[in-house]
Amino acid sequence: FFCTSTPRRNIQQHHNHIIHIILILLTLRLNTLLLLTKMKLELTSLVALFAALSCVMAGSSPRPFGITRSPSTTSKSTDIILSSIRGGAVHESSTLADLDSKIQSAALQNKLTIIDFTATWCGPCKAIAPVYKELSEEFGSNAQFIKVDVDVNPEAAQKFGVSAMPTFVFIKGGEVVDRLMGANAARLKELIAEWSL
């Protein structure tokens, strides 16, 4: 009669030990994941710092905030980091809520917002896109550049009454102050210069 109780107790102890070991392993895994996440964030910061220092050491001509880059020698992630430091970048907005949030943020900073309403099938949109990107780098410290694909975000196009592409909408202080229909690069630059003051 004593044989049946002893193995049962031993089995229960083994189960407790196994559960304890599993909890220790899960804790170690979680700590490892947290450490790896922290290391990734630190690596991203180091990449940005290295890119900035490389430009300064190379003696390249200064841009806003003193950061420059050569498009052929940097990775896409470095481009994003440098653009956010410098202020020049074209941000895509795929929802009306995201667009409204970006407009409000720029209004609080007293920045001009330019929205490029575009479509992937639009030839003139493709032609003006590199110019729009260059303008974002030139005026990025005073203006926010957003691109909205009307097929992805039709609510935004409807809200701003966009019926042809490309259409550029200029917003200052949360209010529409101007608009430009068509791929007129010279007029686009004039309007950005005028409203970003």
Catalytic residue among 90, 122, 148, 188: 122
Q: Give catalytic status of residue 3 as yes or no.
A: no
Catalytic residue among 125, 162, 165, 191: 125
Tokens of 189: 């630059």
**Does residue 55 have an active-site annotation?**
no
Buried b (16+ CB within 10 A) or exposed e, 141-179: ebbbbbbbbbeebeebbeebebeebbbbbbbbeeeeeeb
User: For residue 181, what is the DSSP state?
Assistant: E
Residue 82, classified by CB atoms within 10 Å of its CB into exposed (0-12), middle (13-18) or buried (19+), is buried
- Residues annotated as part of the active site: 122, 125
